[in-house]
Amino acid sequence: MNRLFIGFALVLSGVAAAQVAAPERISSTATRPIYADLSRPLEERVEDALSRMSISEKLHIIHAQSKFSSRGVPRLGIPDLWTDDGPHGVRPDVLWDEWEQAGQSNDSCVAFPALTCLAACWDPGIARLYGESLGEEARYRGKSVLLGPGINIYRTPLNGRNFEYLGEDPFLASEMAVSYIQGLQSRGVAACVKHYALNNNEVNRHTTNVVIDDRTLYEIYLPAFKAAVERGGAWSLMGAYNLLGDEHLCHNDRMLNGILKNEWGFDGAVISDWGGCHDTRQAIANGLDLEFGSWTDGLANGASNAYNNYYLADPYLKLIESGEVSTDELDDKARRVLRLIMRTAMDPSYGYGSLCSEAHYDAARRIGDDGIVLLRNEKNVLPIRSREGGKILVVGENAIKMMTVGGGSSSLKAQREVSPLEGIRKAAEGRGMSVDYARGYVGDVSGEYNGVVTGQNLSDSRTPAQLIAEAVEKARDADYVIFVGGLNKSPGQDCEDSDRESLDLPYAQDDVIAALVKANRNLAVVNISGNAVAMPWVKDVPAIVQAWFLGSEAGNSIADVLFGDVNPSGKLPFTFPAKLSDSPAHAMGAYPGVKRDDSPIVDLEYKEGLLVGYRWHDTRKIRPLFSFGHGLSYTDFRLGKASADRRQIADNDSITFTVDVTNTGRRAGAEVVQLYISDPDCSVERPAKELKAFRKVWLQPGETKSVSLTVGRDALSYFDAERHEWVAEPGDFTAHIGTSSDKISSSVKFNLTR
Ligand code: GLC
């Protein structure tokens, strides 16, 4: 282009620009109000915003405006707050005020493994990865609050929502929750830790009044929430539906004001569970900050778009206008919600996240690979030995049924879900092996939740006998038979708002397994569930794998382990009892509670107290089917004799235990060194032993690593309810180091002098 033309072009472009001058923009931060100035301290911004808001505006931000959002302050440019389920992935959008789908095509997600799988990883680093990945998905979807993690303690194997939680031990749940929360919030998305607290079963979940002693409350059911707040820095928390002391947890003075906000210093927002708020005065005075999902006419379905009828809406305004209540509580609630908005939606520094990236699928697969638990492997049936032309038979409905749809509010619209059959087939065919399939049994052929449909047609008119006959026939000449069964996400199984009625596998799966045992010795059972199940065939089946609800990469993770591309390293986060009556809540007749004569309230006394899970089995010497912390490997490990850096400690000293772990096998793998403490001399009853430290360690064949675990006074303490404080009584303690709660390799005595 010649010079003259260039000059001419430049003049023209200058003229054009002058004629369409850019609109006046806020050019300097000097004109930007404090609340919107990111360079100012958070509390200054909160106070500045609050000072500019009317009473009406403050009321607007402390209750829902739609199914999953609450209003910001449009006049001030403070954005609405968007929440969404759930703990394993970002739920698809529903209509403004309906549970039905919005019908969008941009809200599919990566379905990550359920949190029981995460807990089974016994690796806070993986929990961090989980939180970061999920946070990126939520951020991209424009969600500021992710309604998770769920961390309620596994008290009964019948609880429909155990699959969403982190198991039976408060220390394991704490460690995994803290890292998940830190990961999630590092992406600018608030965790909403739930369901605070004592929501340990689904039956009667709105009307159960838990009766519990303080020591059990503080030692078993609060620690994970305390850790989430104090170490995880959770920005929000969800009140539970149930009651304690006849007060609903969503507005329970002792739990919210007394413990959460005063004892623990929680500066975030307490969000009600959807429909968990029942009373304006209690909600005002007892610490609820943000009301969602209310059925303002009691527990029936509320009127559509009746948000002004919410307990913290017009009824609250009337009490203020009448002078019956001050605006002190309102200011505190509004502060907490503003803080939540400014930590998330109003902070652009976190960027835009990312959705359905290969990195997130890789993370989902890694979590599944690391969380799958090899429960039994007699004669090393697994891993599958590839043989050109080898034949594998896969049996069972759970090999083909989509599991990301259903189960309640954690249900998802996964962009993809690799079924166990697909994953096994892909891996086998890559090894020159063929895979055949037999249904084995017909369970639940439905496939819809809240308007999300799987699109699968699982109907099958054959009789159980015909289905078993087909499976047995095909099993006879297979090299391997893989039965994939367990539970599913249907009501009465692993599903919100209902509990199971028995420990048994449903749909007569035991009959199918018994028939396959006779047909082929090379049988592996893959149990897909978020709960323990009875296994009457346990001695007859050489290989058993606990494969959780694994989400998008389910089939690939299961194949990774079955074919040995991954050496399983998962450890059970809860006990598998041999029978239901061996489980503490059931042995003590402490489930599901006793309904009062004159009210819908069901009193449920936690009679087993501290003895939850392995605490019960160890202390009462009741042998479990599979113990807490149990998990096998395709290699072998040896733990040396543990030693301690001292034998006496006092005051706030810590003590370090060291043990050498050697991989004595021929392939790389990981072991989890677990440290349990017992206090046999204590003046009060204590569980036989309690988990107080753990470390997952990866080792090459022949490699030895020295693992050190340090504990302090808090690990020796019990909660003295009378004195309302933690007490470590001087005397002898024992540290038990091993690789599961019932596989202790060495113990070290030490003394606390004062
Ligand atoms: C549900 C669940 C809760 C969920 C909320 C919103 O009832 O109890 O976990 O986050 O409502 O769906």
Q: Of 85, 123, 273, 289, which one is the catalytic site residue? A: 273
Q: What is the CA radius of gyration of the chain?
A: 28
- Taking the mean position of all CA atoms in its chain, how far away is CA 745? 30
- 274 CA → ligand 1 middle, Å: 6
The ligand 1 atom at the shortest distance from the C-alpha of residue 164 is 9
Q: For the residues 240-259, what does the mean pLDDT come to? A: 98
Active site residue 297: no
Q: pLDDT band for position 32 (50/70/90)?
A: confident
The ligand 1 atom at the shortest distance from the C-alpha of residue 274 is 11
Of all protein residues, the one whose alpha carbon is nearest to atom 12 of ligand 1 is 409
25, pLDDT greater than 70: no
The ligand 1 atom at the shortest distance from the C-alpha of residue 85 is 10
The ligand 1 atom at the shortest distance from the C-alpha of residue 409 is 12
Query: Pick the residue with more confidence: 14 or 146?
Result: 146
Tell me what pLDDT residue 300 has. Answer: 61
User: Quick one: fold of 635-752?
Assistant: Immunoglobulin-like (2.60.40)
Give SS3 for 677.
strand
Q: What token pair was written down for 255?
A: 């739990």
Instruction: Work out whether strand 637-639 and strand 594-595 pair parallel, antiparallel, or are unpaired.
Output: unpaired
- 416 CA → ligand 1 middle, Å: 24
- 449 CA → ligand 1 middle, Å: 14
Beta strands in 640-717 (DSSP E): 643-644, 648-649, 655-663, 669-678, 690-699, 704-711
Q: For the residues 305-325, what does the mean pLDDT come to? A: 96
Ligand 1 pocket list (CB less than 6 A)? 85, 147, 194, 273-274, 409
Alpha helices in 328-411 (DSSP H): 328-343, 358-371
pLDDT in tens, 123-133: 999 999 999 99
19, pLDDT greater than 60: no
- 618 CA → ligand 1 middle, Å: 34
Task: Pick the closest to residue 283 from 257, 261, 322 (CA basis).
Answer: 257
Of all protein residues, the one whose alpha carbon is nearest to atom 6 of ligand 1 is 274
C-alpha to C-alpha distance for 736 and 338, rounded to whole angstroms = 47
Beta strands in 680-741 (DSSP E): 690-699, 704-711, 718-720, 725-727, 731-740
- 19 CA → ligand 1 middle, Å: 55
Q: Which of 97, 496, 497, 498 is the best mutation target for the ligand 1 pocket, counting ligand atoms within 8 Å of the beta carbon and taking the most?
A: 496
pLDDT in tens, 493-506: 999 999 999 999 99
The ligand 1 atom at the shortest distance from the C-alpha of residue 68 is 6
Q: Which of 274, 292, 410, 495 is the best mutation target for the ligand 1 pocket, counting ligand atoms within 8 Å of the beta carbon and taking the most?
A: 274
Q: pLDDT band for position 12 (50/70/90)?
A: very low
For the ranges 90-99, 299-308, 385-394, 448-457, the lowest mean pLDDT is seen at 299-308
111, pLDDT greater than 90: yes
pLDDT in tens, 266-312: 999 999 999 999 999 999 999 999 999 998 665 566 677 889 999 99
Exposure of 660 by Cβ count < 10 A (0-12 exposed, 13-18 middle, 19+ buried)? middle
Q: pLDDT band for position 3 (50/70/90)?
A: very low
**Token match 């599944």: residue?**
368
pLDDT in tens, 174-202: 999 999 999 999 999 999 999 999 999 99
Of all protein residues, the one whose alpha carbon is nearest to atom 9 of ligand 1 is 409
pLDDT in tens, 572-594: 999 999 999 999 999 999 999 99
Contact residues for 261 (Cβ-Cβ < 8 A; gap 6+): 287
- 223 CA → ligand 1 middle, Å: 22
Q: What token pair was written down for 64?
A: 């829902």
Q: pLDDT band for position 18 (50/70/90)?
A: very low
Tell me what pLDDT residue 2 has. Answer: 47
Of all protein residues, the one whose alpha carbon is nearest to atom 8 of ligand 1 is 273
| DSSP label at residue 262 | I
- 496 CA → ligand 1 middle, Å: 9
Q: Where are the domains of the chain?
A: 2-350, 372-566, 635-752
657, pLDDT greater than 70: yes
- 292 CA → ligand 1 middle, Å: 10
Give the whole-number percent of the chain exceeding pLDDT 70. 95
Of all protein residues, the one whose alpha carbon is nearest to atom 4 of ligand 1 is 409
Q: Which residues share a beta bridge with 139?
A: none
- 409 CA → ligand 1 middle, Å: 6
Q: Which residues share a beta bridge with 626?
A: 576
Q: What is the mean pLDDT of the chain?
A: 95
pLDDT in tens, 522-559: 999 999 999 999 999 999 999 999 999 999 999 999 99
9, pLDDT greater than 60: no
C-alpha to C-alpha distance for 743 and 674, rounded to whole angstroms = 10
Tell me what pLDDT residue 436 has. Answer: 98
Residues constituting the chain: 754
Angle in degrees, CA 710, 713, 718, rounded to 5 = 120
Q: Which of 147, 205, 241 is the best mutation target for the ligand 1 pocket, counting ligand atoms within 8 Å of the beta carbon and taking the most?
A: 147
C-alpha to C-alpha distance for 318 and 28, rounded to whole angstroms = 42
Give SS3 for 348.
helix
Q: Which of 273, 412, 452 is the best mutation target for the ligand 1 pocket, counting ligand atoms within 8 Å of the beta carbon and taking the most?
A: 273
The ligand 1 atom at the shortest distance from the C-alpha of residue 275 is 7
134, pLDDT greater than 80: yes
The ligand 1 atom at the shortest distance from the C-alpha of residue 86 is 10
28, pLDDT greater than 80: no
> What would the DSSP string read from start to end of 72-115?
-BGGGTBPPEEEE--TTS-PPPBPTT-SSB---SS--B--PPPH
Q: CATH 3.30.565.10: does it fit domain 372-566?
A: no
Of all protein residues, the one whose alpha carbon is nearest to atom 5 of ligand 1 is 274
Which CATH number is 2-350's, of 3.20.20.300, 3.40.50.10540, 3.40.50.1980, 3.40.50.1010?
3.20.20.300
Fold match between domain 372-566 and domain 635-752: no
Tell me what pLDDT residue 305 has. Answer: 81
Q: pLDDT band for position 14 (50/70/90)?
A: very low
**Token match 């006394």: residue?**
605
**Token match 């503490």: residue?**
584
